[in-house]
């Protein structure tokens, strides 16, 4: 029987690996959305985009990021990264986050809870997409470097957290222990 939404959130977050994966997904989404929210402002202020009918160039850059992400998730990067290295690296980081995190959530969930746990992760990703533009643009108008520096710090802390709680000495997952005779 399905649990009410907030009860499901509590249930998912209370499981050490699943809770850690949701936290990692939240912060990765939060940081990338901060970039998405502030990059047009940065491009306007530093590169002159948006002036004299040049708004479409920002769209081209986001299209490039989307293509790099799609190619990465599809199996290869191609020559796109060589042309716009920094944007390529950001797109790679974004593309590398979602599929493995969702795969690990699925693998660490009992079969009857996979959808609910993936839904919790999606909900936290949505929360990150709601709050990060307000956070990032407020900081951007205080000092344009702030959202990038702070999100860089968040990213490093999230990577350290993921390493500590997900990569070091992990116990068998609920999905692995739920299936008798399945090799771990």
pLDDT for position 53: 61
Letter string b/e over residues 73-88, b meaning 16 or more CB atoms within 10 A of that residue's CB: eeeeeeebbeebeebb
What confidence tens digit (pLDDT) does each residue in 40-99 have? 888 888 877 766 666 677 777 777 777 766 666 555 544 444 446 555 555 556 666 677
Residue with tokens 């956070």: 135
As a whole number of angstroms, the distance between CA 51 and CA 38 comes to 17
Q: What is the domain partition of the chain in residue ranges?
A: 15-55+96-168
Query: Do 5 and 13 contact (CB within 8 A), yes or no?
Result: no
What confidence tens digit (pLDDT) does each residue in 121-144 have? 999 999 999 999 999 999 999 999
Question: What CA dihedral angle connects 30, 150, 144 and 93, to 10 degrees?
Answer: -50
Average pLDDT on 22-35 reads 91
pLDDT for position 54: 60
Identify the residue with better confidence: 156 or 55: 156
Average pLDDT on 108-117 reads 90
What is the pTM for the complete model shown?
Answer: 0.72
């Amino acid at each position: 029987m399905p649990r009410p939404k907030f009860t499901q959130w509590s249930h998912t977050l209370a499981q050490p690996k699943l809770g850690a994966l949701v936290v990692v997904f939240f912060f990765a989404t939060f940081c990338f959305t901060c970039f998405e929210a502030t990059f047009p402002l940065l491009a306007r202020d530093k590169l002159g985009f948006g002036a004299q009918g040049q708004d479409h160039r920002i769209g081209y850059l986001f299209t490039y990021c989307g293509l790099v992400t799609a190619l990465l998730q599809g199996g290869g990067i191609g020559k796109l990264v060589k042309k716009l290295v920094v944007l390529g690296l950001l797109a790679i980081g974004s593309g590398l986050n979602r599929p493995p995190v969702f795969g690990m959530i699925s693998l660490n969930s009992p079969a009857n809870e996979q959808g609910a746990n993936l839904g919790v992760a999606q909900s936290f990703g949505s929360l990150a997409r709601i709050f990060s533009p307000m956070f990032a643009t407020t900081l951007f108008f205080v000092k344009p470097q702030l959202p990038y520096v702070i999100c860089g710090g968040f990213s490093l802390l999230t990577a350290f957290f993921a390493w500590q709680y997900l990569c070091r000495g992990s116990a068998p997952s609920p999905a692995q222990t739920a299936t008798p005779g399945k090799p771990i």
